[in-house]
A and B are shown apart, each in its own frame.
Chain A
Amino acid sequence: GQNIDQPTEMTATEGAIVQINCTYQTSGFNGLFWYQQHAGEAPTFLSYNVLDGLEEKGRFSSFLSRSKGYSYLLLKELQMKDSASYLCAVREDTDKLIFGTGTRLQVFP
């Protein structure tokens, strides 16, 4: 079956670092995506991992371990505008993305 788990909610302080974890069990694996979604808006692409290791992109980094079925999204120097939901999604062998339910991050001043 398919299962993607993320924490439901997280809180952090402006300027801090936060790590959002994602574990997955899917019938196939062809890449993992992270998307950001502000309430009522469309998801926007943050990162893509298909090989093990860390991908860094400005304040955001994403890590993947395929053997452990595990990824994390690391957000540094948090800003108030980073308050949003963060969606982990796995592409199976077919083209479709399976999304987790998302982690709602609240950044406080």
Chain B
Amino acid sequence: DSGVTQTPKHLITATGQRVTLRCSPRSGDLSVYWYQQSLDQGLQFLIQYYNGEERAKGNILERFSAQQFPDLHSELNLSSLELGDSALYFCASSEEPQGSYEQYFGPGTRLTVT
């Protein structure tokens, strides 16, 4: 158990819908990262927050947005869902974004768009 929690574990929804994925980082970790992992693809970095502020952006679609709240939990919002958005979405957290601080990954949310 990494200490990072994600809800829900599974989500099945239809095309065109909007969903929100939630992540609670490990206690004390200020940095939160979101990744997408499609079938047979590597982890694709989406976005990072540090202490409530957006810090780095990866290949995140305009239909997707995220935020980190004062209590440091984070939410990833996916809208106008398409079949291709079906994937595992991981959240990770780290104490600091630099140096040898490893990222601890949550169990993921499996999103299925039908």
Contacts and interface: CB of A to CB of B under 8 A. Distances in A.
Contact of A99 (B42, B88, B97): B42
21 contacts: A31-B99, A40-B88, A42-B106, A42-B107, A43-B43, A43-B105, A45-B103, A45-B104, A48-B100, A87-B42, A89-B43, A95-B48, A95-B50, A95-B97, A96-B33, A97-B33, A98-B45, A99-B43, A99-B44, A101-B41, A101-B42
Given A30-B98, A43-B43, A44-B105, 11 more contacts: A41-B108, A42-B4, A42-B106, A42-B107, A48-B102, A50-B100, A89-B43, A95-B48, A95-B98, A96-B56, A98-B45
Interface of B: 2, 4, 31, 33, 35, 40-45, 48, 50, 55-56, 58, 88, 90, 97-100, 102-108
Contacts of A30: 98
Contacts, number: 58
A16 to B, nearest CB: 26
A43 B4 CA distance: 12
Interface residues of A, number: 22
Interface of A: 30-31, 33, 40-45, 48, 50, 87, 89, 94-102
Contact of B42 (A33, A40, A50, A102): A102
Contacts of B42: 87, 99-102
A102 B40 CA distance: 9
Contacts of B98: 30, 95
A31 B101 CA distance: 10
Contacts of A87: 42-43
Residue of B40, B103, B104 most packed against chain A (CB within 10 A): B103
B100 A95 contact: no
B105 A33 contact: no
A89 to B, nearest CB: 8
Contact of B2 (A44, A48, A94): A44
Nearest to A31: B100
A15 to B, nearest CB: 29
Contacts of A43: 43, 90, 105
A32 B40 CA distance: 22
